[in-house]
Amino acid sequence: MTITMAHPEEPKEPCGPHDPPTGVTSQISWVTPEIASSFLSRDSLNRRLNTERVAALADAIRRKEWRLTHQGIAFDETGSLLDGQHRLHAIVEAGIPVQMYVFHGFPREIFPVLDTGKPRSGADTLLSTGAKHRPLLSSTIRHVTLFNTMPNEPWRGSRAHVSNDRILSAYNADRDRYTEAVVVSRELSAHLFASPTAVAASYFVTTYAAPAANLDDWVSGLKSGASLEEGDARLALREVPRETQKRGPRRRMTMQDQMAIYIKAWNAWVEPQRAGELHLRRLRKGEKMPIPVQVKFRETN
């Protein structure tokens, strides 16, 4: 049998230049803060600077998460900076040199098409792992990271940025726990006031602190509410009203508030003798994020 492969027709109208621009050169260079400042002093065609983006890149450089990729610095044929201002500003802010590609000689008319692609999300980064429910998973990892690194600071702005590298690294280091947290949250969030992300992140940090606790009891009580007596922290958590999630200046509840309420209920359930009167409400001004009670396995000789 002979199989004939059909060739696609040539487009009637060209969809771009047929030949790459001539005179373009590139090299991998160490760009120091001094060199970055020099590059930034040249005439620039770049868009308005996004300071939050700069701060996030600078933090990644400080954490040694910078990787050499095809994204670098580009100058046009006159020496004007076409692309890379945020990366250059981040190097200056971090005060640390990094390696990157430096391109020279691009025609100025390519400027409008630079950086028009969609940024890669944390969920996109997890695609290679084969993990399920990646948007929820990446959001969970981000908020666990924020809880562990800056529990009492606002989880917004550039300081709350968690890079894709950190999300992937955290997942690879503890994938079973994160997978379990996401699975449980998808079951529990239907019975609780909190969002799936808040439930998953709270489940992760509490069970991480208390691996010896009776998790089946905790989860089953929250899911069914059956036979829970007055004063049971699980019943109190189930009864937190869902309307606290509605938008509004007085009713909006942050992710920190949601996690704080979950952790307070967990702590009261693990150590009921120390719970006293349980108040499940958003964090008051100046109130610290609660820390999950630890329940460790006993060491055996």
DSSP track, 61-125: HHTT-----S--EEEETTS-EEE-HHHHHHHHHHT--EEEEEEEEE-GGGGGGTT-SPPPPHHHH
Q: Which residue has the tokens 């006159």?
A: 78
Per-residue model confidence as pLDDT tens digits over 75-88 = 888 888 888 889 99
pLDDT at 101: 93
Distance CA 212, CA 209 (A): 9
pLDDT at 15: 42
| Rounded percentage of the chain residues whose pLDDT exceeds 90 | 51
Yes or no: say if 165 and 65 are a contact pair by the CB < 8 Å rule: yes
pLDDT at 22: 65
pLDDT at 3: 34
pLDDT at 169: 92
pLDDT at 131: 93
Query: Could you tell me where in the chain the CATH 3.90.1530 domains are found?
Result: 25-113
Q: pTM for this one?
A: 0.68
Distance CA 123, CA 69 (A): 20
Topology (CATH) of 25-113:
3.90.1530
B/e letters for 25-50, b = 16+ CB within 10 Å, e = fewer, are eeeeeebebebbeebbeeebebeeee
Per-residue model confidence as pLDDT tens digits over 29-61 = 999 999 999 999 886 666 678 888 898 899 889
What are the structure tokens assigned to 236, written together?
Answer: 């109190």
pLDDT at 16: 46
Distance CA 60, CA 273 (A): 44
Count of CB atoms within 10 A of residue 5's CB?
4
Higher pLDDT, 4 or 280: 280
